[in-house]
Structure 1
Amino acid sequence: MTKSELIELVSQRIDVPKNHAEEIVNAVFDAMSDALMEDERIEVRGFGSFSIRKYRARKGRNPRTGDEVQVAAKKSVHFKVGKELRERVDTLEA
């Protein structure tokens, strides 16, 4: 699902114009982004949680040449699926 498809779905479900639904979706995404930028954890019960994971600098290898390279420290967004969503997805047929 793309952002525009999500906006369309929100527009239909709560019976509002698309431009209003777009404002709602953007406000939610902005609030989530702001929280993550403040290193806050986001938890949506039944859906999952978002948090920032920190990775230390380390030595790695260039897979093409095998040479050792220094990999810089970094931060990344981590999503952990909630129990309800995990169980719902688990019931899907392959």
Structure 2
Amino acid sequence: MNKTELIDAIAADAEISKVGAQRVLDSVINQVVKAVTKDDTVQLIGFGSFSAGKRAARVGRNPRTGEEIKIAAAKTVKFAAGKGFKDTVNKKKK
């Protein structure tokens, strides 16, 4: 499912216009990005949590030449699925 298909599904499910659904989805995404950028955690009970993480600097290898390269430290984004989401995904089909 891509963003357009998600907007269509939200609009149909919530019985709102596609433009309204797109504005809501864009707003949710923007708010999550802002919060995680500030090192806050966004926790949506039953769905999951978005948070910032840190990746330490390390030495890697260029796969083409085998030469050692330095990989800089970086911030990363983590998503941990909530229990309700995991349970739904793992529900056995009968």
In the alignment, the residues of structure 2 paired with residue 16 and residue 84 of structure 1 have an alpha-carbon distance, to the nearest angstrom, of 26
For the residue of structure 2 that corresponds to 1:36, the secondary structure is: helix
Please tell me the residue identity of whatever aligns with 1:8. D
Once the two structures are TM-superposed, the CA of residue 19 in structure 1 deviates from its matched residue by 0.8
| Residue equivalent to 2:86 | 86
| Residue equivalent to 1:29 | 29
Q: Share of identical aligned residues, percent?
A: 38
Deviations 1:50-91 (A, max 9, x none): 111111111111122211110011111111111111111112
- Whether 1:44 and 2:41 are equivalent positions in the alignment is no
Please tell me the residue identity of whatever aligns with 2:42. I
In the alignment, the residues of structure 2 paired with residue 21 and residue 83 of structure 1 have an alpha-carbon distance, to the nearest angstrom, of 26
TM-score normalised by structure 2 residue count = 0.90
In the alignment, the residues of structure 1 paired with residue 90 and residue 16 of structure 2 have an alpha-carbon distance, to the nearest angstrom, of 33
Q: Please report the RMSD computed on the Cα atoms of aligned residues, expressed in angstroms.
A: 1.2
TM-score normalised by structure 1 residue count = 0.90
Q: Which moved more, 1:60-69 or 1:27-36?
A: 60-69
- Whether 1:16 and 2:13 are equivalent positions in the alignment is no
Q: Gapped runs of 5+ residues in structure 1?
A: none
Q: Gapped runs of 5+ residues in structure 2?
A: none
